[in-house]
Amino acid sequence: MNEEKRTIKTGFMDALPLAIAIGAYGLSYGVLATQANFSLVGIVAMSLLVFSGSLQMVTVGMLTAGGSLVSVLITSVLLNLRNLLYGAALAEGLAPAKKWRWLLSFGVSDESFVLGSSRFKEYGPDPLYFGIVVVTFYIAWIFSSLIGGLIGNQVDPQKWGLDLAFPITFVAILISDLTEKPAIATALTATILAIGLEYFMPGNEFTIIITGVLAPFVGLYLKRRSQKC
């Protein structure tokens, strides 16, 4: 098997558990969007063009609750702030794609960031891998949105344990990354920060970006200190 085929296979296999979770999420989105009086074309169009699970869920939730267009847009800006951080962290790994970066950037999200950054850390820049991951997620998201819109509320993702796929896949990736003390300290700091932020502001949209910005300083400090010793 040549290198490209191996990368495609690895990307697809790595993406599969998360694609199942994305599918479950997409079903829920389709169902909720139907309840928010979106047409089937509108449901699928939003998934095709926006391709952001959390943002789309929040949007239909706010519209159902009577939120205005302006309030949805302001919320979307806040929700999208973390994409800046993800994009900056992924930039080096996507650099060889040159002008294709414009297309690959469309796939920057929580899940693709987790898999992409883990891959780049171990194997260096790999836009093909990232592309395969994004395409797998995109297909899962579009089709599950469509099915969710078609079947209404006849499927409960929780009942089938589909909601478990996200956190356990993240844990499997995280544990594999904790190979040195600075990384472990970063994870512990992030855990404490995230718990604190969620405790004082339950369900807020800033936990990820604040934790993602602050916790790495601990890892950076410890790594620098060990290099000096």
Partner 1 sequence: MLNRWILIGLLSVSTYISRIIGVEIMAGREMNPTLRLYFNYVPVGVISALIIKQILVPVDRGLVISFPILIACLSTAIAVKKIKKFLPSVVFGAIIGFLTRYFFT
Scanning residues 73 to 92, which ones bind partner 1 (CB under 8 A)?
73, 76-77, 80-92
- Determine the interface stretch with partner 1 among 1-9, 22-30, 71-79, 142-150 (rule: CB under 8 A): 71-79
Nearer to partner 1, 56 or 144 (CB): 56
- Check if the beta carbon of residue 191 is closer than 8 Å to that of residue 199: no
Name residues contacting partner 1, limited to 25-64 (CB under 8 A): 38-39, 42, 45-46, 49-52, 55, 59
> Taking the CA atoms of the chain, what radius of gyration do you get in angstroms?
19
Instruction: For residue 38, report the phi and psi dihedrals to the nearest 5 degrees.
Output: -80, 145
Q: Is 12 in the site for partner 1 (CB under 8 A)?
A: no
- Least separation in angstroms between residue 118's CB and partner 1 is 7
8 touches partner 1 (CB under 8 A): no
Residue written as tokens 């993406």?
15
- Which amino acid would we find at residue 24? A
Among 71, 214, 225, 226, binds partner 1 (CB under 8 A): 214
CB of 1 to partner 1, least distance (A): 18
61 closest CA partner among 33, 42, 81: 33
Residue from 11, 148, 157, 212 touching partner 1 (CB under 8 A): that is 212
Site for partner 1 in 88-147 (CB under 8 A): 88-92, 94-95, 101-102, 104-108, 110, 113-114, 117-118, 121
Cβ of residue 220: shortest distance to partner 1, in angstroms? 5
Alpha-helical segments (H) within 95-180: 101-104, 110-123, 127-151, 165-177
Rounded Cα–Cα distance for residues 165 and 218 (Å): 29
Residue among 66, 35, 76, 25 at smallest CA distance from 205: 76
